[in-house]
Each structure stands twice: as C-alpha cells, then as structure tokens.
A and B are shown apart, each in its own frame.
Chain A
Amino acid sequence: MAGKPKLHYSNGRGKMESIRWLLAAAGVEFEEEFIETKEDLEKLRNDGSLLFQQVPMVEIDGMKMVQTRAILSYIAAKYNLYGKDLRERAWIDMYVEGTTDLMGMIMYLPLQPADTKEKNLALIIERATNRYFPVYEKALKDHGHDYLVGNKLSWADIHLLEAILMAEECKPGILSAFPLLQAFKERTSNIPTIKKFLQPGSQRKPQMDEKSLATVKKIFGI
C-alpha cells in the first residue's frame, strides 16, 4: 500500500526544497512533518528513522529514504523525468549537478558570518552570470528545443527553473543577458503542475527570514 510521500524537514527550503519542486512538478501530492525543535530531530534519530542521523528524510514506497540526491534520483526515475537512456541521463546529471552547486551557494548564504555576506553574494552573482547561466543558455540555443535534454521535460528543467528563481531573488534582472533562459523560465513556469506550485498557498517555501534562521540554527546546532 502506497500512501503519499511524507517529507521530514524543518519548515523552510534548505535541502528539501528541490525535492518539493520535483514531486510537485511530477504532480505527486505529498505530506510534510516539520521539525520545529531540537527534540523533534532527536526523536527521529532515536527511533532509527534517519539512516545517517540526518534530514532530509522522505517516506516513500515503503522506504525511509535519506540523502537528497538519492531521493531526487528515485523520484526522477519513478516519474519518467530522467531521460530515455544512459546518454540523456549523463546530460541531465551534469546539468543538475551544476544547478545544485549554484543553489548550494545561495542556500548557505544566510548561514555565513555577517562580514562575508557581501563578498559571498557577489560571488554567487558572478558565478550565476559567468559560469552557470551561459551553459544553460547555450544548451537551449544549440538545439532550439523547449527543454534542456531530449526534447522532453526532465528533472534538469525543473531544477534549472528553481535555480533561476532563487538567483533572481539574489539579484532581480540577473537573467538580463540570457534571453533564452527568460523564455525558458516563462514557458516552464506555465506547465500546469509547476504553475500550481508557484501559486500562493502551495507547499513551496519562502526565503529564510531572521526568525526561521534562528530556529534552524537551534535545531541543527549550527
């Protein structure tokens, strides 16, 4: 018997957000159980639910899956968002690893010491503009398709849209030099499942504020 996937994490983006995006894009309804205190995390650890004592953890298909990439790969494969063959998977993997690196930089920004924030934000913008976005712009330009790989929606597209929106939060207009990414963003945002996820009231999480940052620090002891 398979119920809805159940996500265990704090009530914020962090490493779980890409998983929420992928499930939503695949049209999969999911439940969430939020870790609010250190005790909540300890309880999960003590009852053996977390293989390596860490979240994200997703209860799915009888498994208590951990490790973000493992969870994302499973969902992508299960819902046919991982390409049609080994070669397409190779490209999806390469593209996803790129957006993972970019989003990782953005995700850790609030946790950096205050005196390095400005420098780190500048680095994020520089990397987005000079290292990452040009690659995806060129991929779209070279084949002229709507999607990054295999002329079909895949995990790579969903992940790229998430990264674009996060980057725009860092610097509105960051896509100004990337016309194809702008069109990609519009087009992909209009896919019904994704459009729904982008609406207020969905399970998409907002940017971290001071209060949620303090909570996260307390829960994870950082």
Chain B
Amino acid sequence: MKKPSEAVLLLLLLFFTPHAKGTRFSPPGKPALTRCRSPEKETFTCWWEPGPDGGLTTTYALYYRKENSEAVYECPDYHTAGENSCFFNKNDTSIWVNYNITVVATNTLGSTFSDPVDIDVVYIVKPNPPEKLTVTVMEDKGWPFLRVSWEPPHKADTRSGWITLIYELRVKLEGEDDWEMHLAGQQKTFNIFSLRSGGTYHVQVRCKPDHGFWSEWSSTSYIKVPDYFHREKSAWILIMVFTAFIFLILTWLLHMNSHSLKHCILPPVPGPKIRGFDEKLLKNGKSEDIFSALVVSGFPPTMSSNCEDLLVEYLEVYVPDEHELMLEEGKDLHDHCLKSEGSTSDNDSGRGSCDSHTLLMDKCGEAKEQGRQTEQEERPVETQRHQKEWNEDTLPYAHEDTVSPDMSSGRVKTWPSVFCPLPQYSSSPPNHTSSLEIAKQHCLSDSLFPPGSTSSYLTHPGHSTKETLGPSRWEFSLSNKQPRSLHPQMQTRQQLQARSDINLSNVGCEQAPVGLLPPTARPTEYVEVQRVNEEDMVLLKPVASGRGCGDGCPRLRQAEDYSKVKGVNSDHTLLLQREVMGEEAERCPCQDQETNGETDSCITSSTVTTTQKPPACNYTAAAVQDKMAPTVSGYVDTASIFTLPTY
C-alpha cells in the first residue's frame, strides 16, 4: 500500500507548492513622479518612483499633455537621463507652457496611472554648479585677502540674458566645521578678508536663477594663505617691549614712592586716644586709676584760674564831667589793666578795665579812688541785685534772640550768663572787681555811675536804693520776651559812656569776666549792648552821651549797630565792627535828655547801616568825633549812651 500514500503525498506536495512560494501576480503598484528639473530652462527631465511591480515585469510609460491641447504625447527619451526618467529635449520643451505629466506602470495584469503633475518649466530650473572656481591670495596694504572668481555653468545661457543667475559662496578654514556664507549677487568675483595667516581655506560656490532652485555646491577649491608672521607680529613685539619697559619704570617709581603712596592710599587710621587714658591700666583692671586719669584737674576752670587772661571784656564807663577826676585816675590803671592798646581817645580804645569805675579787674583794684569805691560799693548792691535778676533771666536770655531791631536803644542786653557764671560772682568780694565782673557779665556796654550824682536808677523797680547811686543808670533789657528791662527811673539821665572793650573771645570761660573799662575823661563812644540776636551776636549800640554833648555835640549816631564782630584778636579782644544804623542824628539827643522819650527819638532814627565811625557824642567836644578810628581798630567804642528808655 505504499503507492497510494506516496501518490497522496505527491499530490499534496504539488498542491501546496504553489502556496509555499507565496507570490501572487497583481497589477503594478502606482508609480509616482518625484521631480522634474531643468538645468538651463531649455530642456527638462522628469523622474518617477516605481511602485511595487506586482510580481510581473512592469513597464513604465510617461505621457504628457500640453496646456490647452488635448493631444497626449509620450515621453520622447527614456534613457538619456537614466532609469525611470524622461528627458525632454529642446524641441519638446516649451517655456511658459503648462505640462500635465502622468506615468503609467503596466504589467500583464494591468496598468496603473500615477497622479498627474503640472509643471511649468520656468519654475523648475535648477542650474548646474558654477565652474572654474579660482581662488588667489592678494594683498591690500600689507594685509592679505582672497579673491574668488568663477564661471557660470556652461549650459546656462546668461550671456544672452535668457537666464539670470545669482551666486553664493562659502568659506571655511581647514579643520573647522562652520562655513562662512557670502552672497555674491550676479557678480562673478568676490573678495574675502580677515584671513588667518598660515591657514588653509576651503571655498565653494553655487548658483540659482532668480526664481528657481539652488544648484549643488561646486567642487572645493583649496588655498593656503602664506605666513605674514613678521608683518603682524613685529608690531606686536614692539608694543610688548614698549609696554614692558613702561611697566618696569612704573614699578620702579612705585617702589621709590611706596611709602608716600601707602600714606595716600591707605592713610594711617589714628587710633583712639584719650589723653591720660592708659590702656594698660584697663588691662590691669584698675578702673579707678583709669578714670582718675581721665579727670582733668583743671577743668572746668574755676575762678581762680586766669580767666581774665582768656576773656576780658572791657567796658569802659565814661564818667561825665564831674567825675573826670576819677576817670583820669582810672587812666593810670589804664596802663595796667588795659588789655587793649592804650589810646586815650574818646573811642575808648585801649582803655583798661581799670578805668572803669564800675567794673574793674582784680589787678586794677588798688587804684581805685574813694569815689569809685563808693560807687563800687554801691554797685555791688546793684549788681548783685542785677545779678539775681540776671541769674534768673540769663538762661532764657541766653537763648532768646528775638530782639527786634526796632527795639529802642534803651535796651541793654546783658550778656548771657553762659559767659559769666553768676553764682561765682556773688561770692566775690564786693569790690569794684566784682562789680566789674558783674558788669562784664551783663556785658553792659555802659555803666556809668557818676558818683553821688543824680539818683542812679536801677531799672529794677523796687530798688529805690539804687537811686542813690546817682545818675548812673543801668539800663538793660533782657529781651523782648522778658521785658524785664530794668527801667531806669531816671530823673537824671546820666549818660554812661561806657567803653566796651568787649572781649568775648572766650566762650568757654564761664567766668568770662567782662572787662569794663571805666570811661575815661575823654569822650569815647560807648557801646551799648543792644541785643543778642539769633546768631548770638552782641548787638551793640552806641550811646550818645547826652550830657556831654552840650553844645558841640556832634551828631550822634543814633542807633549804631555794633552787631558785627569783626574778630577776636590774640589778646582775646573782641573786635566789633560798628555799623551805623540810622541817619546822622541831627542832634545829640541824649545829652539833653532827661527823659526817656527823647531817648527813643534818639535811637529810633532811621537806620542806615553804614560802617562808619560815628562821631562820638560826648560831652567833651566834637573833637572826639575824630576818634572813631579806634573803634574800627577793634575796640568797641560806642557812642555815648543814650538815655535808655523806660518801659
């Protein structure tokens, strides 16, 4: 029974063999036109991609139709352009005509048409790459550059203008990856600058019609740039040498001046030093020693210290005629006491404080006369009273500064007690010294206590005893705020001619004794402290000596403002500058004045601030007028004091 089984097997094999091979014939797959290109706008080629052939040999055919024509033509040339291509030669190519092209694949089982494609040759131009690319190295003022030149592809007819090509080239250094692109337009040469000496460059070029596709890159052209080492580098070497030379010089200079430079750039920081402070003590931990060392024994300066040396305020009180003697006596002291130059002028310059019988310095004390002493005795009373007043008022006074300039000249502001520690004064012996000092404190520019004369009026009401002091009067007003000016109850208006040599230089010296020099016989100008203004300036006003200016009373400067401190000289003399405020007084108001009212008129003349030497109005004579000079020289010589207005 082998034969039937074998036959079955054979049959099975025969039957299955065709299936085992697995191929089935089918019509060809759909081909596709991949692209059509024209290299010179005169011919063109189309390529297609065949589809699956279906197992059978497949043939391809290309058919085309021109625009507005129903005729279908077949591809004239299948071979020139290679496989699966169709080449249209010049005779078959029409420009500006729409071609409708189709490819048909055919095999025994059937045929398949591709999708048709419309082309216009004008828009499918892709030229060949440019030819004859040449690169040469040329030199421009010592610097090399590349000159690249080429030719259009030979097939493209640019000469007749049929095709217009634009070119592009690219350059790169050997070994690098990045190309440098340059668009050259329609020109056929190009220059490349900024080359590296000794480098090898690769150059390529391509072209494109104005509306079309870029060609392939041309073959690479190599060029080696020669070495320009010595050209480029020699200059650099020179520069380097020069720089090194300069550097050396600078270093040397720096080294020479290192010390001063260090000082300039890094100034030595001063360490904190406290005089008498020993850091070592601190380390030792003995705090008592440390702090005791900090205590300066001489501070604050007490009365015993030579404060007078520091600050001398001279207030020379001018005694009217009956007290001339005293004044003259004072002149003797003048030499001792005077700190200022002794000038017997009426300006009171140089008058020592001793001359003032109201305010005398210590060393001048012995020279006092009886009369003065009497006065002085009286004065302490007054002054102490004033003192008290001032004690109360000084502080606020010191700060007040709102004295109106229109304040009548009768106001005398006392100097703030900052300079004159009043309590200390009180302890002083009631001698002329103290009175002087007190007067100094008050910085009264004038105080004249004609001994025994008319009732002295202390402006402080209620102190009738003051009147016994004689015609002298003190007028001082504290400030506007505190119209506590002591109104003089004057029956007699003595004009105090006080020459104030106010040496207010020493602010720190609290004692600040104001040296008030007693007025000498000579008619001098006296300064009346008008006020202290905001800037802590003592406004001094000349006071017309009413009494003295009898007949020949020169015109008084009504309101002379001594507010300007010209300076402080080495002798601690405060130099005040006189400013004449006010017109020339037509008269010597003060001399005749017995009343306050006139004083006002005296003072309230129009202000003419001129720095002049106001003629001193003193009773001696008009000759005094000329002696204003000393005032300017530094001594405050006010005019005779006006009678201070009462309030």
A and B together in one complex = no
